[in-house]
């Protein structure tokens, strides 16, 4: 049962002082099987790539060393460990060929790789240490997994166990494209399997692999090693199969990671036995995050007016930063110049400040969620020759390396000598930005959530400017309030939840895979339908409001209302019928989605975009139903048939689609409709 599973994990892991990640670096206390002196193993990991343009993979070395200790303890006769500078294409293939000559005729082959991957034909490429962040280099400086298996001597009759902690979407652990000169075409991955080969891969071909929250170690190879030690042995027979490993790691990543979708893949026989794992599973059976979700606090986190004649805690990352007449000023033409302040633990907040461009040909910048060694996010104003604003992902807080998010580009030219007020709000994976009161930025993207916390910063590019009245305010969850326009004053709140507390907040799943994830209600299956219900059969006339974020899928978001088991109900389908249409439906008595009857005169064109958050409002009063998406009226119908369904609860759901929901309120409506 997912809820019980999550609550048990949280209860044991919420305080780092009381619990921590298990130690997998030491070899198992008891050898898990008899000696396999004829087996060989090649383990390669790259944490520090040669060129600064290539993102590092923190924890790759430690994971590789843990795998080496584990395989030696199992009795593998020859274990070759290659780290960082040793993982060139030439050396990798040469060492593989040498190991092939050492394997006994009945011996097995082990292969573990931790680092970057790149898309390509078939199995893509394992990116070697000397690759640069260009499409050409990523294609040329890599080894195809099939070629490496061939060099290891894997032929018919030879058993191969391969663990690849790399993704083949061409993205870094933070979700940023590796190729700075253009995205590599993403292709499905299908590993060749000569002999008795089994490949465990960190993620699907269009996903990116990253670390575990609270532990700077690549998630998949860490979890897979724990799985082989016995954590994945669900049936208790001490025989861990490939199917058990992939099931365990998928389940663990769903519970532990809320900022990305990462689904490990198995290419090979799911019944093949990978280990005789005898180690007891730790309390964190699926490794929910040891680090608790930061509390949602309100109030001013910091305020700077620079009236004290100093920089008041601001640290220069680059440029010439000074106090000037009660402001903080940047007086160089550096590309870039940045100064930072605040706390790495700040999560959801708003930044307000005033600035004036003194002179220069280019941009003023605001940095947020910035952490040394991890990078951050940056909104650039008046960049690209003072023509545009755009959101960017930073790799180095003091350097020029960035990844543009092109969909956020907006026209903006700054006038020298004019003072502007800027406000930027970041909450979860959504960022909203205003200049002079005009909204220029509103984006929701999983890449942004990969930078969950960090400091704030100010900056320029080939430009001098001063800044003043900097305020950082913690943001509470956005909730709809009773008594808002369109509702009678004093309306009764029937239900409300912002999912701050772990749990499903009273929602009862009737299909799909529902989880509490980082302060939201998430549905993670592509079921037909997936629905969770809340409420009372006595609810009659009410308004429903909620935010919904479409993660991915082929079809619809569902809003069931006045729903009673055995009596049926009503349902508003958003982006259904191949993500093309919104329509009102009458549900069958069993509330199943299949077989529902659509009211064709309510059909409206509607396509929902993956990665975008929408606000939905629905009102039902008697036989009258109205519905809005992002303030646009899509549904307005009065029909006696609707009044037949005179009461019932609320259901949120999806059809062949994954999504999360937040800030759900249900408010009773008066008998009379207000003037609009």
Which tens digits make up the pLDDT trace of 155-172?
A: 888 899 999 999 887 777
pLDDT at 275 over 80: yes
Rounded distance, CA 400 to CA 218, Å? 26
Q: Do 221 and 309 sit in the same domain of this protein?
A: no
> Would you mind telling me the total number of residues written for the chain in this entry?
676
Helix axes 60-73, 219-226, angle to 10 degrees: 20
**Are 332 and 464 a contacting pair, CB within 8 Å?**
yes
pLDDT average, residue stretch 656-676 = 79
Of 446, 474, 502, which residue is a domain's last? Answer: 474
Rounded distance, CA 312 to CA 27, Å? 49
Least confident piece of the model among 153-157, 209-213, 231-235, 610-614 = 209-213
Q: Do 499 and 468 sit in the same domain of this protein?
A: no
Q: Do 258 and 117 sit in the same domain of this protein?
A: yes
pLDDT level of residue 98 (50, 70, 90 thresholds): very high
pLDDT at 674 over 70: no
Indicate left, alpha or beta for 519 from its phi (over 0: left) and psi (-120 to 50: alpha).
Answer: left
Tell me, yes or no, whether 254 lies in a domain: yes
Supply the pLDDT for residue 181: 58
Identify the residue with better confidence: 527 or 627.
Answer: 627
Q: Do 643 and 555 sit in the same domain of this protein?
A: yes
> Cα-Cα-Cα-Cα dihedral of 174, 175, 178, 183, to 10°?
-170
Supply the pLDDT for residue 339: 92
Least confident piece of the model among 315-329, 573-587, 660-674 = 660-674
Q: Which of 474, 605, 496 is nearest to 547 (CA)?
A: 496
pLDDT at 393 over 80: yes
Least confident piece of the model among 83-97, 351-365, 596-610 = 596-610
Tell me, yes or no, whether 288 lies in a domain: no
Rounded distance, CA 484 to CA 558, Å? 24
pLDDT average, residue stretch 258-275 = 82
Number of folded domains that form the chain: 3
Q: Do 448 and 499 sit in the same domain of this protein?
A: no
pLDDT at 411 over 50: yes
**Are 670 and 620 a contacting pair, CB within 8 Å?**
no
pLDDT in tens, 346-392: 888 999 999 999 999 999 999 999 988 778 899 999 999 999 999 99
CA atoms within 13 A on the CB side of 477: 22
Tell me, yes or no, whether 293 lies in a domain: no
pLDDT average, residue stretch 646-661 = 92
Tell me, yes or no, whether 138 lies in a domain: yes
Supply the pLDDT for residue 184: 62
Identify the residue with better confidence: 607 or 32.
Answer: 607
Supply the pLDDT for residue 290: 40
Supply the pLDDT for residue 559: 97
Q: Which of 201, 206, 208 is nearest to 174 (CA)?
A: 208
pLDDT at 277 over 70: yes
CA–chain centroid gap for 129, Å, is 26
Average pLDDT of every residue of the chain: 82
pLDDT at 398 over 70: no
Percent of the chain whose predicted confidence (pLDDT) is above 90: 40
Q: Do 264 and 315 sit in the same domain of this protein?
A: no
pLDDT level of residue 584 (50, 70, 90 thresholds): very high
Cβ within 8 Å of residue 573, ≥6 positions away: 556, 557, 558, 581, 582, 583, 584, 585, 598, 655
pLDDT level of residue 654 (50, 70, 90 thresholds): very high
The helix/strand/coil state of 71 is helix
Rounded distance, CA 59 to CA 83, Å? 12
- pTM for the complete prediction? 0.50
pLDDT at 189 over 80: no
Cβ within 8 Å of residue 35, ≥6 positions away: 75
pLDDT average, residue stretch 554-561 = 94
Q: Do 371 and 416 sit in the same domain of this protein?
A: yes
Q: Do 138 and 257 sit in the same domain of this protein?
A: yes
Least confident piece of the model among 185-194, 589-598, 647-656 = 185-194
Tell me, yes or no, whether 327 lies in a domain: yes
Identify the residue with better confidence: 566 or 552.
Answer: 552
Q: Do 46 and 93 sit in the same domain of this protein?
A: yes
Rounded distance, CA 168 to CA 180, Å? 16
pLDDT in tens, 199-221: 999 988 777 788 876 677 899 99
Beta bridge partners of 654: 530, 557
Token pair 């303030």 in the structure block, residue: 631
Tell me, yes or no, whether 281 lies in a domain: no
pLDDT average, residue stretch 325-332 = 91
pLDDT in tens, 479-499: 333 333 344 444 578 999 988
Q: Do 233 and 349 sit in the same domain of this protein?
A: no
pLDDT in tens, 4-18: 333 333 333 333 333
Token pair 């060393």 in the structure block, residue: 65
pLDDT at 68 over 70: yes
pLDDT at 263 over 60: yes
Identify the residue with better confidence: 31 or 332.
Answer: 332
pLDDT average, residue stretch 511-523 = 85
**Are 618 and 544 a contacting pair, CB within 8 Å?**
yes
Supply the pLDDT for residue 225: 94
Tell me, yes or no, whether 92 lies in a domain: yes
Give DSSP secondary structure letters for 266-283: EES-TT-EEE---SPPPS
pLDDT average, residue stretch 444-462 = 85
Kindly give the pairing relationship between strand 76-83 and strand 36-45: parallel
Supply the pLDDT for residue 177: 67
Identify the residue with better confidence: 492 or 633.
Answer: 633
Q: Do 12 and 150 sit in the same domain of this protein?
A: yes
The helix/strand/coil state of 606 is coil
Supply the CATH number for residue 374's domain.
2.60.120.560
Q: Do 467 and 592 sit in the same domain of this protein?
A: no
CA atoms within 13 A on the CB side of 122: 12
Q: Which of 109, 103, 21 is nearest to 71 (CA)?
A: 109
Supply the CATH number for residue 236's domain.
3.40.50.1460
> Which residue range forms the structural domain that includes residue 342?
299-474
Most confident of 121-130, 395-404, 569-578, 600-609: 569-578
Tell me, yes or no, whether 23 lies in a domain: no
């Amino acid at each position: 049962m997912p809820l019980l599973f999550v609550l048990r994990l949280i209860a044991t892991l919420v305080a780092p002082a009381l619990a921590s990640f298990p130690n997998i670096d030491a070899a198992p206390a008891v050898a898990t099987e008899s000696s396999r002196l004829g087996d060989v193993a090649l383990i390669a990991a790259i944490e520090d790539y040669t060129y600064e343009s290539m993102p590092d993979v923190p924890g790759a070395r430690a994971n590789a060393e843990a795998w080496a200790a584990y395989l030696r303890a199992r009795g593998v006769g020859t274990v070759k460990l290659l780290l960082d500078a040793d993982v060139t294409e030439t050396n990798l293939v040469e060492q593989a060929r040498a190991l092939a000559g050492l394997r006994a005729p009945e011996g097995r082959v082990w292969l573990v790789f931790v680092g970057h991957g790149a898309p390509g034909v078939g199995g893509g490429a394992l990116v070697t240490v000397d690759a640069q962040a260009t499409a050409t280099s990523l294609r040329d400086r890599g080894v195809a997994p099939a070629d490496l298996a061939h060099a290891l001597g894997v032929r018919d009759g030879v058993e191969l166990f391969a663990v690849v902690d790399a993704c083949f979407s061409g993205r870094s652990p933070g979700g940023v494209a590796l190729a700075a000169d253009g995205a590599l075409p993403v292709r499905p991955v299908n590993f060749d399997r000569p002999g008795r080969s089994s490949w465990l891969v960190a993620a699907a071909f269009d996903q990116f692999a990253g670390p575990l929250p609270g532990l700077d170690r690549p998630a998949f190879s860490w979890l897979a090693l724990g799985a082989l030690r016995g954590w994945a042995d669900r049936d208790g027979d001490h025989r861990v199969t490939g199917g058990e490993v992939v099931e365990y790691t998928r389940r663990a990543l769903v519970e532990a990671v809320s900022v990305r979708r990462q689904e490990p893949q198995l290419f090979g026989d799911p019944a093949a036995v990978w280990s005789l794992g005898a180690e007891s599973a730790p309390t964190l059976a699926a490794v929910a995050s040891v680090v608790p979700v930061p509390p949602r606090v309100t109030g001013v986190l910091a305020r700077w007016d620079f009236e004290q004649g100093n920089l008041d805690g601001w640290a220069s990352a680059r440029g010439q930063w000074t106090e000037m007449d009660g402001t903080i000023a940047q007086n160089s033409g550096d590309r870039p110049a940045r100064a930072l302040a605040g706390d790495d633990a700040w999560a959801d907040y708003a930044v307000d400040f005033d600035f004036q461009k003194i002179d220069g040909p280019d941009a003023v910048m605001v940095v947020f969620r910035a952490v040394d060694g991890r990078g951050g996010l940056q909104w650039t104003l008046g960049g690209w020759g003072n023509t545009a604003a755009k959101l960017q992902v930073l790799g180095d807080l003091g350097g020029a390396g960035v990844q543009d998010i092109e969909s956020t580009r907006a026209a903006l030219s700054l006038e020298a000598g004019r003072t502007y007020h800027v406000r930027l709000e970041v909450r979860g994976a959504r960022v909203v930005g205003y200049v002079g009161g005009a909204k220029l930025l509103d984006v929701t993207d999983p890449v942004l959530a990969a930078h969950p916390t960090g400091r704030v910063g100010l900056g320029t590019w080939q430009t001098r400017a001063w800044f003043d009245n900097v305020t950082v305010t913690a943001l509470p969850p956005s909730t709809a309030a009773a008594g808002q326009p369109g509702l009678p004053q004093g309306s009764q709140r029937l239900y409300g939840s912002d999912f701050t507390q772990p749990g499903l907040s009273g929602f009862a799943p009737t299909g799909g895979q529902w989880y509490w994830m980082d302060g939201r209600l998430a549905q993670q299956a592509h079921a037909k339908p997936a629905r969770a219900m809340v409420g009372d059969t006595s609810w009659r006339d009410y308004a429903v409001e909620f935010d919904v974020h479409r993660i991915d899928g082929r079809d619809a978001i569902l809003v069931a209302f006045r729903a009673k088991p055995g009596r049926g109900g009503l349902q508003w389908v958003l982006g259904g019928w191949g993500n093309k249409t919104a329509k009102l439906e009458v549900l069958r008595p069993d509330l199943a989605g299949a077989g529902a009857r659509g009211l064709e005169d309510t059909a409206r064109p509607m396509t929902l975009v993956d990665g975008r958050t929408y606000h939905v409002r629905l009102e039902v009063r008697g036989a009258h139903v109205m519905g809005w998406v992002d303030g646009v009226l899509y549904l307005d119908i009065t029909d006696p048939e609707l009044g037949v369904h005179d009461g019932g609860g609320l259901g949120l759901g999806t059809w062949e689609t994954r999504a999360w929901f937040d800030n759900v309120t249900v408010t009773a409506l008066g008998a009379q409709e207000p003037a609009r």
